[in-house]
Amino acid sequence: MPTIQIDEALDKLKANGYKYTKKREELLNFMIKGDRYISAKDIYNFMSQKYSGISYDTIYRNLHDFVEIDLVEETELNGEKKFRFHCSIEGLGHHHHFICTVCGATREIHMCPMNFFEDQLTGCEIEGHRFEIYGKCENCAK
């Protein structure tokens, strides 16, 4: 079990006013182990096997909260929101992703194209950016 990552995530939850629950820890562990973008439905299916009676709304609300405090990243694939444990918690620094449109697997891209765009947007105040490349990973392309 990735104890350092989960410990840091639980500390971040506490620092942002969220209580520790075994369900939150289990949800985060599932996402850490998955190491890919996962739908809320897939997370719900996993969690409902362990916690009967857990609601989809509870899963979605927690995911939204995790996104708000930068524990989890979200993206949209094929019209559906997908979630992934935030890479910055893993100590990778600023980077972007290649995302497989079939299985949701990700690869880090250790280059940022923002310098190119900043040069073209003189006088503008950039508040953030997102850069993702979509396609099929080597396994899904076979």
pLDDT score for 110: 79
How many Å apart are CA 6 and CA 10, to the nearest integer? 6
Instruction: Write down all domains in the chain, each with its CATH number in brackets.
Output: 3-90 (1.10.10.10), 96-141 (3.30.1490.190)
Side-by-side strand order, sheet with 96-100: 106-109, 96-100, 132-135
The residues of the chain scoring below 50 in pLDDT are 1, 89
pTM of the complete model beyond 0.85: no
Q: Nearest to residue 108, comparing CAs of 79, 131, 136, 128?
A: 131
Q: Nearest to residue 23, comparing CAs of 3, 50, 42, 45?
A: 50
